[in-house]
Amino acid sequence: MLTTLLLRVSPRRAGAVVERNVLVHRRGWVVLASGFFEPLLYLLSLGIGLGALVGRVPFAGGTVAYPVFLAPAMLAVQAMNAALTETTFNVFGKLKYMRLYDAVLATPVTPLELALGEIGWCLARSGLYSGVFLGLMALLGLTPSGWAILAWPAAILIGFAFAALGMALTTFLRSWQDFDYVMIIMMVMFMFAGTFTPLDAYPAWARPLVELTPLYHGVAITRGLSLGRLDLAMLGHAGYLVGCCVVGLWVAARRLGRLLQP
Amino acid sequence: MTTAIVAPGRGALHVFAYHLIGYRRTWWGTAFSSFLLPLIYLAGIGLGVGGYVDRGHHLGVDYLSFLAPGVLAATGLSIAIDESMYRVYSQFAWDRTYEGMLNTPLRIVDIVLGQLAFVVFRALVAVTVFLLVMTAFGTVHSGWAVGVLPTAMLLALACAAPTFAFTATQHTDSSFAVLTRFVVIPVQLFSGVFFPVAQLPAGVRILAWLSPLWHGVEVCRSLTLGTARPWPVLGHLGYLAVWSAVGLVLAHRAFRRRLVV
């Protein structure tokens, strides 16, 4: 059903949604840029400052220096943050308060094109962030393997998955108060999705919960690539993220259609 | 002329009561940032990463005990600044509460002091809960730990008062996101909350010394670990008092400029 819908998508109409966002953000570049710095600051503070106390942590049978371990996780976190803030806070504002989407759907743009357009803008933004972030990681000597270059497309996939899930989630939110839950979800994933510690550091009962989170799978991919430890499990992680994209998109398009075209 | 009749302090008390009554309806919404978020930090970094730190014995104390008072002080700071941005801004720009207040016998100084008292109160509540949690985690090693409550209140005042002044000069709300990301988050990450500032390069260390949070963290940590000595503690508190006093003067001036002139 999603495939038939996707066949009818016009790139030009979805592109118009992206174009609108580009126009709006021409003036707000400071806020745009600020989204980039947060994970970088965490990397510098916790990776390098705290990392000096942590030393080396176990990874894939050996050990790695803590900043090298943390950096790819912050890359994944950045992709998540950029995607979720854009598709939850901003989309909610446009959906509920600015009534922007009512106006958009009065044009030939369909709900799925709208969702794809918003996600496309979001990916352009988070792709830019993660590209620069990866470059900084390389400059700081935190990317031991040449495979790290593939962490960029991986970060974009993570961004896509979270953008799609975020869009879907936003259609269920009722008021700004509900954003507390969004913040909790983001914060809990940020802290406990294998970002700061290897999965083995968690108690046995918590591990399956960690493995459920999309961020865990994202971190597994970026870390594997950045450290040059490739294995077949990474395909599974990627498959999980692709699944998130499909489910998120499908729910988002359906719900947006229902909310806006009664 | 009416303003002169009001006894000093009474007006501020009314403003404080006004904010408290509002808070009775909205406190649940603040539960996440005041109570849950610091706990997530404590569990995620303290327990998770702490296990690796403790292998090295660099700190002379277990990492959770090192981290917890730092997160406590950081909570005081983040509540103070959160409460001083949108809430204050909305009363200038959106709800125009301040204009309403000025049509009563309240003076500018009452409005500023009353609302600052509310901010300090919010910090106190959060920090009290946090101290209880710290005790449950076994990270309180001294009876002096109760001293973190007034310390956090002073820290909150030292951070809130200048932020009030800043907010009063703003005419759009977009600068608050920038303030959060470029000032608040860096200050929290590099003020000795997560690791001793001695780890920082010399240039950055000076910035950490300037930040009120570092002074708050140092006092709170020495109190909960039971290593407090009068001289550095009084020095840190004095520094925070200077921030508070200067912030108060600036806030009062900025409020007057926005509301009266």
Q: What is the pLDDT of residues B240-259, one digit of tens each?
A: 999 999 999 999 999 999 99
Which of A4-13, A151-160, B142-151, B153-162 has the lowest average pLDDT?
A: A4-13
Kindly indicate the confidence band of residue A2, based on its pLDDT and cuts at 50, 70 and 90: low
Q: Judge whether residue B8 has pLDDT over 80.
A: no
The verdict on residue B1 lying in a domain is: no
Size of interface A-B (CB pairs under 8 A): 87
Q: Which residue has the higher pLDDT, B6 or B52?
A: B52
Number of domains in chain B: 1
CB within 8 Å: A191 and B58? no
Give the mutation candidate from B34, B39, B52, B178 for the A interface (greatest A CB count, under 10 A). Answer: B52
User: Which percentage of chain A shows pLDDT scores above 70?
Assistant: 93
The verdict on residue B52 lying in a domain is: yes
- For the segment A25-78, what is each residue's pLDDT rounded down to a tens digit? 776 666 666 667 888 888 889 888 888 889 899 888 889 999 999 999 999 999
Q: Flag whether the pTM goes above 0.80.
A: yes
Contact between residue A90 and residue A125 where contact means Cβ atoms under 8 Å apart: no
CB within 8 Å: A52 and B185? no
The verdict on residue A225 lying in a domain is: yes
The verdict on residue A248 lying in a domain is: yes
The verdict on residue A158 lying in a domain is: yes
Average pLDDT, chain A: 87
Q: Does the ipTM exceed 0.90?
A: no
The verdict on residue A162 lying in a domain is: yes
Among A31, A37, A54, select the one facing B49 at the smallest CB separation. A54
The verdict on residue A24 lying in a domain is: no
Q: Judge whether residue B2 has pLDDT over 50.
A: no
Average pLDDT, chain B: 90
Q: Judge whether residue B29 has pLDDT over 80.
A: no
Taking residues A207-230, report their average pLDDT.
94
The verdict on residue A27 lying in a domain is: no
Flag whether residue B25 sits within 8 Å of chain A, measured between CB atoms. no
Question: How close does chain A come to B189, measured CA to CA in Å?
Answer: 6
Taking residues B202-214, report their average pLDDT.
92
Number of domains in chain A: 1
Taking residues A196-222, report their average pLDDT.
91
Host domain of residue A117: 38-260
The verdict on residue B140 lying in a domain is: yes
Question: How close does chain B come to A53, measured CA to CA in Å?
Answer: 5
The verdict on residue A16 lying in a domain is: no
The verdict on residue A164 lying in a domain is: yes
Kindly indicate the confidence band of residue B9, based on its pLDDT and cuts at 50, 70 and 90: low
Flag whether residue B40 sits within 8 Å of chain A, measured between CB atoms. yes
The verdict on residue B149 lying in a domain is: yes
Host domain of residue B62: 28-260
